[in-house]
Amino acid sequence: MKVTESLKSGRKVFSFEFYPPKTEADAKRLFDAARELKTLSPDFVSVTNSSAGTLPYRTVALSGILKNEIGLEVVAHLTCLAHTRAEIIEIAYGLKKMGIENVLALRGDRENVVGEPPGDYKYASQLTADIAADGWFSVGGACYPEKHPEAATLEEDIAHLREKTAAGASYLITQLFFDNSLYFGFLEKTAAAGVSVPILPGLMPITGYRQIQKFTQLMNVSVPAELRAGIERWDGDKDGMFKFSVEYASRQAEELLKGGAPGLHLYTLNRSRAAMEILRNVRGGALK
């Protein structure tokens, strides 16, 4: 099923994100997690774009395994900076043969491109237009409630989002965030700018102090005082950190859904336990 159809159903949409594993041990952990998460009947899972995974499990092949062997609906990430238009056409053909109908069209990070980019694409909106014109895929895009790190202002970033949706992106998934007011404020700004597609919030439970430092430094993600205090309190206590992190993310998820978010997209880091507990808390109303 296409993601756009799920979003038009009127019910809340739930999804998980995986990345291609780099070793056989990583692959086993991923597939174990995928099978466990399947028991929660997610609407889809997404697979990040990477050529660094161990060969049988790079993005396109992994997407096919998750869909055809495990039975999950898949959104395959495509990045344009690293590919020519001809390569994108070939990748899209491979996805079609596997029955995959959903793509997340992204620009990609410049630092992950070896050498100079091929030059056929500069922006995600250009890739979005090509994929959408094919007619087979439901195309989504990424967005940043605290703006893309390379954008001068949030307003400039939203202007690019408007171009992306005009090119054919029919929904957006946010970068992770920890302050819900940023998401709701972002919705107001995008709506005022004419961006009318559904915007799924992306959430990730924190596993340690080092991880939060990475997010704040590399992704320009702000950390509320409550979250920072909890991380500092439980740093070094694995069980305490897990419980605090899941409870924080569950409260955040519940508030987002009550506030009108069309669903939730959970970044799993290829593990299932935290994502399963968060979704069970939300669906079961355990925190009400």
What are the structural domain ranges in the chain?
3-284
- Predicted local confidence at residue 116, as pLDDT: 54
Task: Choose between 48 and 209: higher pLDDT.
Answer: 48
- Predicted local confidence at residue 288, as pLDDT: 45
Q: Which amino acid is at 187?
A: L
* Measured CA distances, 128 to 135, 138, 140, 217 (Å): 11, 10, 8, 29
Please determine, for residue 115, whether its predicted confidence score (pLDDT) is greater than 60: no
Residue whose tokens read 């410049």:
110
% of residues, the chain, pLDDT over 90? 74
Please determine, for residue 24, whether its predicted confidence score (pLDDT) is greater than 50: yes
- Predicted local confidence at residue 285, as pLDDT: 62
Which residue blocks in 49-153 are alpha helix, DSSP H? 59-68, 85-97, 124-134
Confidence class for position 56, pLDDT limits 50, 70, 90:
low
Domain over 3-284 is classified CATH 3.20.20.220:
yes
32 in Cβ contact with 61 (< 8 Å)? no
182 in Cβ contact with 223 (< 8 Å)? no
Contacts 24+ apart (CB under 8 A), 144-148: 144/174, 144/175, 145/174, 145/175, 145/177, 145/182, 145/183, 145/185, 145/186, 146/175, 146/177, 146/182, 146/220, 146/221, 146/222, 147/220
Confidence class for position 216, pLDDT limits 50, 70, 90:
confident
- CA 210 to CA 249: how far, in whole Å? 18
Residue whose tokens read 């959430």:
203
Within a 10 A sphere around the Cβ of 174, how many other Cβ atoms? 21
Average pLDDT over residues 215-244: 88
Residue whose tokens read 């990609």:
108
- CA 258 to CA 72: how far, in whole Å? 27
Bridge partners of 18, per DSSP, are 47
- Predicted local confidence at residue 210, as pLDDT: 78
Average pLDDT score, the chain: 90
Say how many residues make up the chain.
Answer: 288
Please determine, for residue 175, whether its predicted confidence score (pLDDT) is greater than 80: yes
Please determine, for residue 217, whether its predicted confidence score (pLDDT) is greater than 80: no
Confidence class for position 213, pLDDT limits 50, 70, 90:
confident
Average pLDDT over residues 192-196: 97
Q: Which residues are catalytic?
A: 17
The packing angle between helices 273-284 and 238-258, to 10°, is 40
